[in-house]
């Protein structure tokens, strides 16, 4: 039955009526001094146990201004530590159900995060995202490195919309900042042990305390995750989309003087499993009987199930190649903070190394039809940023400068085994069958990036409750690429050396007014800039930068008794030179600049607290996206059984996609969260939680066809948590995707050599488990 917006709203209301919510919703925080007493709820944008000041203010570090959440004139969500862990937010993909207008998927083991329809649209080697992913304010540059799990986190801050002044080069969509827990001058720690279906075992813990009184303190934390596959490779018998990963982090905090501190954070993670599998969802313009693998005698997963008279389970694959995933990353950060009250100075230095190897099967069959895809990425990056704030009287200043350097080596290697046999079948040639078996489709090389930015914002209070802000950032970036592109079957072996540099100024203008009752109104105009790209070993030209002008107005407030909090934002984007990746007619990955697009939408959030132990949170979004001018090659052009587009005015071989929706941009999303705490006296407390999240239809390619589309769907989660009266022990029974909804996370249409099949990744199935925790 079709899922409508009206249905979703009715379901959301029903869930709210049950007084359940996921642990990720706006949550009560236990006051340690009074044991079971509950602090007032925060506004709709803050969920869970966050880094609150003694005045119960949430400080948002991602804005770099040192402002509290309540005083931040932006569309922002802050997810606290109580929201993160088993049954809650465990990785980047979980953010899509918790934060308005955020969509997260993966492809080839790469994070594809979109905010308000803006995100990573290129699938080429070395592509950058349009949402800046940070840890403690330092960039995690590789999208593949952003898929590691979350642990020992104080809060996650999500800023929606371009952050062109403070972040520049890669934040046209927004910013996600992960704030790790800091060392404390007193001993504190926790442990969690989880067992769930798919034999899932998760062990997590952290410990911190003083080394030398309040002058020097430490914290160490770690996490181990292991679960069976959500599917099976029915040809090899190995798991599909399982997980075997571990991570460790250590932090040192030195209070050098009362106003000077030094924080050092080092971490490492590793994964070795069969995750990020390449699932086959079916043919598009080429029938199953005419697929390249079928003509060579291979069978797909549809053939496997058809022979058994069974309905295909597409969580499984049927492939001669297992989905191999090996990756690891190491980072070291140093954060020096000088706080003189009305003047602060922060230096953030970071080094990050990331390496991965992924293998998938492009021909999605049980034979090697030139489909073994080997993907290597090896990155070393360094960043340095210095920021300052000055706030005295009616004037406040925010400024800074940054430097970023990365050396990225990459390789895509596809051995062309059996390609000559395929040519003999489809072209009628008489080539030796093993002619290309020792050859490759190969992209290989190195890209070096150097980027510099400097920015300054000034705010002035025209009146006690009226403030204006103006600022600008200067961005400069240079990329040098060396490498080769080799495709022996087409007689190609050419160098791909190229270099380019770009610069841009990204201004910001903002006005904000706070009513006597505390409600904040704001309006702002911002320009965003996403750097140009040189893809590794790629034959296409240098890709120009993206630019976006954003116009946004918003409101945030709460009642005096804090039982009702609300926020709303309306925005309009003028987006030019979009970087879009695709596979061209020669089966070569290519990235181009689409001419222009426009997005506009509305976001509404509310938190309702009708009783001290009951909280509801509801959000709804409307997003309208459209390409205004975009010509591209179309895999179904000329096939009259399929949807057709007008010819491009400048090139009749291309299709004019103007009017189509952008990828990963659902028109409507609606979510409702609720939780209720039952006081059990000296026996402790029982927390009942649940939520429902509805997402409208979404397209994964610019063609807006059904073969790369996820229909509207809803996810339901719930948990029951018992906590002892002393707040030390807890036991939680939780479930995610309780209806076991089958939903796509991302799809692409493959290359002509692989018959344009639809392939991609899936959201997790129903998972449930039991978590035992201890806090001290």
Percent of the chain with pLDDT over 70: 91
- Helix (H) or strand (E) run with residue 387 in it: strand 372-392
DSSP-derived secondary structure letter, 756: T
Backbone angles phi, psi at 143, to 5 degrees: -55, -30
Quote the pLDDT of residue 147: 87
pLDDT digits (tens, 9 = 90+) for 560-573: 888 999 999 999 99
Of the candidates 592, 528, 438, 474, the one whose C-alpha atom is nearest the C-alpha of residue 123 is 592
The CATH number assigned to the domain holding 326 equals: 2.40.170.20
Instruction: For residue 448, tell me if it sits in a domain.
Output: yes
Which residues neighbour 428 within 8 Å (Cβ) at sequence distance 6 or greater?
A: none
d(CA 263, CA 236): 48
Structural domain that includes position 644 = 5-756+768-775
**Nearest 5°: CA angle at 770, between 767 and 775?**
130
DSSP-derived secondary structure letter, 19: T
Instruction: For residue 103, tell me if it sits in a domain.
Output: yes
d(CA 462, CA 459): 9
**Nearest 5°: CA angle at 662, between 660 and 668?**
100
Quote the pLDDT of residue 14: 36
pLDDT digits (tens, 9 = 90+) for 626-639: 999 988 889 999 99
The Cα-based distances of 249 to 224, 292, 736 in angstroms read 12, 47, 27
Under 8 Å between Cβ of 701 and 749: yes
pLDDT digits (tens, 9 = 90+) for 348-383: 999 999 999 999 999 999 999 999 999 999 999 999
Give the per-residue SS3 of 494-506. EECCEEEEEEEEE
Of the candidates 429, 278, 445, 257, the one whose C-alpha atom is nearest the C-alpha of residue 365 is 278
How many domains, in total, are found in the chain? 1
Burial readout 114-137 (b: 16 or more C-beta within 10 A, e: otherwise): bbbbbbbbbbbbbbbbbbbbbbbb
Under 8 Å between Cβ of 379 and 141: yes
Instruction: For residue 685, tell me if it sits in a domain.
Output: yes
Instruction: For residue 647, tell me if it sits in a domain.
Output: yes
- Helix (H) or strand (E) run with residue 305 in it: helix 301-306
Q: Taking residues 587-602, what's their average pLDDT?
A: 82
Instruction: For residue 763, tell me if it sits in a domain.
Output: no
Instruction: For residue 762, tell me if it sits in a domain.
Output: no
Helices (H) and strands (E) in the chain, counts: 4, 42
Backbone angles phi, psi at 637, to 5 degrees: -65, 130
Backbone angles phi, psi at 96, to 5 degrees: -65, -20
Q: Taking residues 262-274, what's their average pLDDT?
A: 98
Q: Would you say how long the chain is, in residues?
A: 776
The Cα-based distances of 725 to 3, 36, 91, 207 in angstroms read 43, 7, 30, 22
- State the pairing for strand pair 131-135/174-180: parallel
Q: Is pLDDT at 589 greater than 70 in this prediction? A: no
Quote the pLDDT of residue 7: 41
Quote the pLDDT of residue 580: 76
> Confidence band (pLDDT; 50, 70, 90) for 587?
low
Q: Tokens 């695709």 map to which residue?
A: 582
Q: Is pLDDT at 478 greater than 80 in this prediction? A: yes
Considering only 41-50, 291-300, 690-699, which range has the smallest mean pLDDT? 41-50
Q: Is pLDDT at 29 greater than 60 in this prediction? A: no
The Cα-based distances of 563 to 25, 28, 515, 614, 678 in angstroms read 15, 12, 18, 10, 19
d(CA 478, CA 501): 4
d(CA 112, CA 349): 26
Under 8 Å between Cβ of 179 and 153: yes
Instruction: For residue 473, tell me if it sits in a domain.
Output: yes
**Which pair of tokens denotes residue 728?**
């030390």
- State the pairing for strand pair 76-80/46-47: parallel
Q: How remote is the C-alpha of 157 from its chain's centroid?
A: 12
Q: Is pLDDT at 300 greater than 80 in this prediction? A: yes
> Confidence band (pLDDT; 50, 70, 90) for 184?
very high
> Confidence band (pLDDT; 50, 70, 90) for 44?
very low
pTM: 0.90
Instruction: For residue 487, tell me if it sits in a domain.
Output: yes
């Amino acid at each position: 039955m079709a899922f409508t917006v009206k249905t979703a709203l009715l379901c959301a209301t029903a869930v709210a009526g049950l007084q359940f919510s996921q642990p990720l919703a706006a949550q009560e925080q236990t006051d340690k001094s009074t044991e079971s007493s509950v602090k007032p709820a925060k506004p709709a944008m803050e969920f869970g146990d966050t880094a609150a000041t003694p005045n119960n203010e949430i400080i948002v570090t991602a804005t770099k201004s040192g402002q509290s959440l309540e005083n931040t004139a932006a569309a922002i969500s802050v997810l606290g530590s109580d929201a993160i862990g088993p049954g809650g937010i465990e990785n980047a993909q979980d953010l899509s159900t918790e934060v308005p207008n955020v969509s997260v998927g993966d492809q080839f083991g790469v994070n594809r995060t979109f905010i308000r329809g803006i995100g990573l649209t290129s699938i080429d080697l070395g592509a950058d995202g349009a949402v800046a992913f940070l840890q403690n304010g330092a960039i995690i540059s590789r999208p593949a490195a952003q898929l590691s799990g979350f642990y020992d986190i104080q809060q996650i801050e999500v800023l929606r919309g371009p952050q062109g002044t403070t972040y520049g080069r890669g934040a046209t969509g927004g910013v996600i900042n992960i704030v790790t827990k800091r060392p404390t001058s007193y001993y504190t720690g926790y442990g969690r042990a989880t067992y769930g279906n798919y034999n899932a075992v998760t062990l997590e813990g952290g410990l911190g305390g003083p080394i030398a009184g309040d002058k020097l303190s430490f914290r160490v934390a770690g996490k181990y995750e292991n679960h069976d596959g959500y599917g099976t490779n029915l040809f090899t018998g190995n798991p599909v989309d399982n997980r075997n990963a571990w991570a460790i982090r250590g932090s040192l905090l030195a209070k050098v003087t009362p106003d000077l501190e030094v924080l050092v954070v080092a971490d490492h993670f590793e994964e070795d499993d069969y995750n990020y599998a390449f699932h086959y969802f079916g043919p598009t313009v080429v029938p199953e009987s005419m697929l390249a693998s079928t003509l060579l005698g291979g069978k797909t997963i549809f053939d496997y199930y058809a022979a058994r008279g069974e309905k295909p389970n597409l969580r499984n694959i049927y492939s001669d190649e297992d989905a191999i995933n090996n990756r690891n990353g190491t980072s070291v950060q140093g954060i020096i903070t000088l706080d003189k009250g009305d003047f602060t100075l922060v230096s953030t230095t970071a080094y990050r190394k990331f390496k991965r190897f992924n293998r998938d099967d492009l021909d999605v069959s049980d034979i090697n039809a030139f489909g073994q895809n080997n993907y290597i990425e090896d990155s070393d990056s360094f960043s340095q940023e210095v920021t300052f704030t000055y706030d005295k009287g009616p004037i406040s200043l925010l400024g800074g400068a940054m430097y970023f350097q990365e050396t990225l080596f990459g390789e895509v290697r596809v051995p062309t085994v059996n390609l000559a046999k395929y040519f003999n079948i489809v072209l009628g040639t008489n080539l030796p069958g093993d002619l290309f078996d020792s050859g490759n489709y190969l992209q290989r090389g190195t890209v070096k990036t150097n980027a510099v930015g400097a920015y300054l914002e000034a705010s002035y209070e025209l009146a006690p409750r009226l403030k204006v802000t103006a600022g600008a950032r200067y961005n400069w970036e240079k990329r040098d690429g060396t490498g080769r592109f080799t495709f022996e079957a087409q007689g190609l072996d050419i160098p791909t050396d190229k270099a380019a540099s770009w610069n841009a100024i990204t201004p910001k203008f903002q006005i904000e007014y706070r009513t006597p009752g505390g409600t904040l109104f704001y309006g702002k105009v911002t320009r965003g800039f996403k750097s140009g790209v040189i893809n590794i070993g790629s034959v296409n030209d240098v890709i120009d930068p993206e630019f976006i002008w954003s116009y946004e107005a918003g409101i945030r407030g709460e009642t005096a008794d804090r039982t009702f909090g609300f926020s709303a934002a309306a925005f309009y984007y003028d987006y030019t030179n979009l970087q879009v990746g695709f596979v061209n007619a020669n089966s070569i990955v290519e990235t181009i600049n689409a001419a222009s697009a426009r997005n506009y939408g509305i976001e509404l959030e509310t938190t309702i607290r009708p009783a001290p132990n009951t909280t509801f949170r509801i959000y709804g979004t409307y997003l309208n996206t459209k390409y205004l001018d975009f010509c591209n090659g179309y895999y179904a052009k000329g096939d009259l059984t399929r949807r057709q587009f007008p010819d491009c005015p400048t090139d009749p071989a291309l299709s004019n996609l103007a009017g189509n929706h952008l990828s990963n941009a659902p028109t409507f999303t609606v979510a409702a969260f609720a939780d209720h705490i039952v006081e059990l006296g000296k026996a402790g407390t029982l927390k009942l939680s649940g939520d429902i999240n509805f997402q409208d239809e979404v397209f994964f390619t610019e063609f807006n066809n059904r073969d790369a589309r996820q229909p509207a769907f809803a996810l339901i989660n719930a948990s029951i948590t018992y906590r002892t009266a002393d707040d030390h022990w807890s036991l939680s029974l939780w479930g995610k995707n309780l209806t076991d909804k089958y939903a796509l996370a991302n799809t692409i249409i493959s290359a002509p050599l692989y018959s344009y099949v639809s392939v991609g990744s899936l959201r997790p199935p129903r998972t449930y488990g039991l978590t035992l925790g201890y806090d001290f």
